[in-house]
């Protein structure tokens, strides 16, 4: 590969004397075709590719370079099977330094851990009292499409390693960037590729190598195993239901890893259609469309169901509602279980449990309020102020009391609003319906 001469790609010029993103993308593609991760016991695993952007609030090039080295050492210690190629960059408008990285990780690795490791390298506040830890919203992760990985690799590497940016249709050079060998740090499988391509182009290399993990981590329950945030799948490579890599010898058009996942996916889709009722055909079409785009079927069903609920609540057509991938409240992906509501971490599971307990206690207090209202003002009118006072004695908020009264008014035969007296209620007499008839 080093004897082959190739002119720099027109779409991704890295500057005079720098290596072409085309060569690096081709080398990575060959590495992926052979399978990067080869554990001692078990078949080779096809990694997932991510484009990661790590930002900072302040700092010069030397500080960002030092933080990048610390991040590589953390990756070597905590995720030794990961491939990492990071480069420091500078925004052409603001001049703020940040890091662009190409990450290759197994499908079982939670890529959001990388963002947490980067943010923890910075203290909360500096000596002057200003916030120094980067914001969680500023860190970006974009999974690369497995169907068009070659083109995505070229564009990502050209952006990460390039020295110019497109601003309002014009290519503007980024000033103040250090040489390529001083701003790039590689680790793992990408370190070997970076070293080979750099040697062919006469660029010095400073790669980081970490010791292998001594023993595998302890197995966890299925409900607590997180999946990657993108949860993508590819025909013949990974399963369309669980997202795991397929075993060697599967057909090229295989969609599921086994009979269990295939039957689970079919049952989930049939149950979803029954739940949608009259909108079953539209919902099925949207689920299958998302699945063809690389979504797991469980995530597609969850997202389409949420979109239908939002459209019905707001009175909008389903086409106008944006479908978002399901995630935990903390921003992490949901656990592997099909009906999971949290990411599986102990903190999120405890918060969800406490939330359910609070909701259950509120429902019990609401039932007690209804019972007391029925006993005290069974056939006499009462005002909303009296109901609020009774709800306050039961530690109920005003909005919960008003919600109870609204439900009583809407339900047929339980309560009605007195004419000419706003915010006054009275229970209907037992023989009122018979007299009206």
Token pair, residue 344, equals 């599986």
- Distance separating alpha carbons of residues 388 and 76, to the nearest angstrom: 60
118 has a pLDDT exceeding 90: yes
Query: Counting runs of H as helices and runs of E as strands, what totals does the chain give?
Result: 13, 10
The answer to whether 174 and 41 have CB atoms below 8 angstroms apart is no
For the four alpha carbons of 22, 27, 30 and 31, in that order, the dihedral sign comes to: negative
Which residues, 6 or more positions from 115, have their beta carbon under 8 angstroms from its beta carbon?
A: 52, 54, 136, 139, 141
Count of CB atoms situated within 10 Å of the CB of 160: 23
Specify the DSSP class assigned to residue 331. S
Mean pLDDT of the chain: 77
- 70: phi then psi, degrees, rounded to nearest 5: -65, -40
- Specify the pTM: 0.46
Least confident stretch, 82-91, 205-214, 267-276: 205-214
* Helix 346-376 vs helix 398-410: crossing angle, to nearest 10: 60
pLDDT at 380 over 60: yes
Q: Which of 22-26, 245-249, 331-335, 363-367 has the lowest mean pLDDT?
A: 22-26
How far apart are the C-alpha atoms of 103 and 436, rounded to whole Å?
A: 73
Q: Three-class SS of residue 36?
A: coil
CB distance 163 to 186 below 8 Å? no
Nearest alpha-carbon partner for 204 in 238, 232, 236, 180? 180
Q: Count Cβ atoms below 10 Å from residue 116 Cβ, excluding itself.
A: 12
Give pLDDT, residue 37.
47
Helix (H) or strand (E) holding 360: helix 346-376
pLDDT score at 71: 92
Query: CA dist 384 to 206, 377, 388, Å?
Result: 73, 12, 6
DSSP 137: G
Q: How far apart (Å, rounded) are the C-alpha atoms in residues 412 and 429?
A: 13
> pLDDT grade, residue 210 (50/70/90)?
very low
User: In this predicted model, what pLDDT tens digit does every residue of 213-249 receive, in sequence order?
Assistant: 455 555 555 455 544 445 677 787 888 888 778 887 7
- Going across the sheet that includes 140-143, the strands are 140-143, 48-54, 97-105, 83-90, 184-187
Helix axes 259-276, 297-314, angle to 10 degrees: 10
- Rg, Å, the chain Cα set: 29
Query: By C-alpha distance, which of 188, 155, 11 is closest to 86?
Result: 188
Up-side HSE of residue 414: CA atoms within 13 Å toward CB? 13
Q: How confident is the model at residue 35 (pLDDT cuts 50, 70, 90)?
A: low
Q: What is the mean pLDDT of residues 270-282?
A: 87
Residue 294 backbone zone (phi > 0: left; psi -120 to 50: alpha; other: beta): left
Cα–chain-centroid distance for residue 312?
25
CB within 8 Å of 94: residues ≥ 6 apart = none
Mention every residue, 6+ apart, whose C-beta is less than 8 A from residue 293: none
Contact indicator for 392, 385 with CB cutoff of 8 Å: no
pLDDT at residue 407, as a whole number: 80
For residue 83, pLDDT beyond 60:
yes
Per-residue tokens: 109: 């690795």
| Alpha-carbon separation of residue 183 from 102, 162, 204 (angstroms) | 14, 11, 11
DSSP secondary structure of 154-191: HHHHHHHH-SEEEETTEEEEPTTPPPHHHHEEEETHHH
Q: Which tens digits make up the pLDDT trace of 393-437? A: 888 888 888 888 888 777 755 666 666 677 788 877 665 544 443
């Amino acid at each position: 590969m080093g004897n082959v001469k190739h002119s720099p790609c027109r779409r991704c010029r890295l500057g005079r004397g720098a290596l072409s993103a085309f060569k690096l993308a081709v080398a990575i593609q060959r590495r992926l075709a052979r399978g990067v991760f080869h554990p001692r016991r078990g078949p080779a695993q096809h990694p997932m590719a991510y484009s990661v952007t790590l930002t900072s609030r302040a700092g010069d090039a030397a500080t960002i370079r030092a933080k990048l080295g610390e991040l590589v050492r953390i990756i070597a210690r905590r995720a030794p099977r990961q491939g990492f190629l990071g480069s420091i960059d500078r925004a052409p408008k603001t001049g703020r330094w940040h890091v662009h990285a190409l990450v290759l990780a197994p499908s079982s690795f939670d890529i959001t851990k990388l963002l947490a490791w980067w943010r923890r390298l910075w203290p909360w506040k500096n000596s002057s009292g200003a916030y120094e830890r980067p914001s969680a919203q500023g860190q970006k992760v974009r999974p690369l499409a497995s169907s068009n990985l070659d083109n995505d690799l070229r564009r990502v590497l050209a952006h990460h390693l390039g020295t110019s940016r497109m601003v309002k249709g014009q290519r503007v050079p980024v000033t103040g960037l250090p040489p390529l060998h001083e701003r790039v740090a590689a680790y793992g499988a990408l370190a070997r590729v970076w070293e080979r391509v750099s040697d062919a182009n006469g660029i010095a290399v400073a790669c980081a190598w970490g010791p292998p993990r001594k023993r595998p981590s302890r197995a966890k329950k299925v409900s607590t195993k997180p999946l990657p945030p993108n949860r993508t799948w590819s025909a013949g490579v990974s399963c369309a239901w669980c997202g795991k890599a397929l075993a060697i010898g599967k057909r090229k058009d295989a969609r599921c890893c086994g009979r269990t996942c295939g039957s689970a996916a079919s049952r989930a889709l049939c149950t979803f259609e029954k739940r949608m009722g009259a909108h079953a055909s539209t919902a099925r079409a949207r689920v299958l469309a998302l699945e063809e785009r690389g979504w797991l079927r469980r995530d597609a069903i969850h997202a389409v169901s949420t979109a239908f609920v939002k459209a019905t609540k707001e009175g909008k057509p389903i086409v106008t509602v944006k479908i978002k991938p399901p995630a935990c409240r903390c921003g992490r992906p949901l656990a592997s279980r099909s009906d999971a509501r949290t990411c599986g971490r102990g903190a999120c599971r405890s918060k969800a449990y406490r939330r359910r307990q609070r909701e259950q206690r509120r429902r019990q207090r609401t039932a007690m309020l209804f019972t007391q209202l029925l006993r005290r003002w069974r056939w006499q009118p009462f005002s909303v102020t009296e109901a609020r006072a009774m709800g306050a004695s039961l530690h109920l908020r005003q909005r919960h009391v008003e919600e109870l009264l609204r439900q009583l008014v809407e339900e047929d035969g339980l309560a009605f609003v007195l004419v000419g007296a706003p915010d006054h209620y009275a229970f209907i007499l037992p023989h009122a319906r018979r007299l009206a008839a």
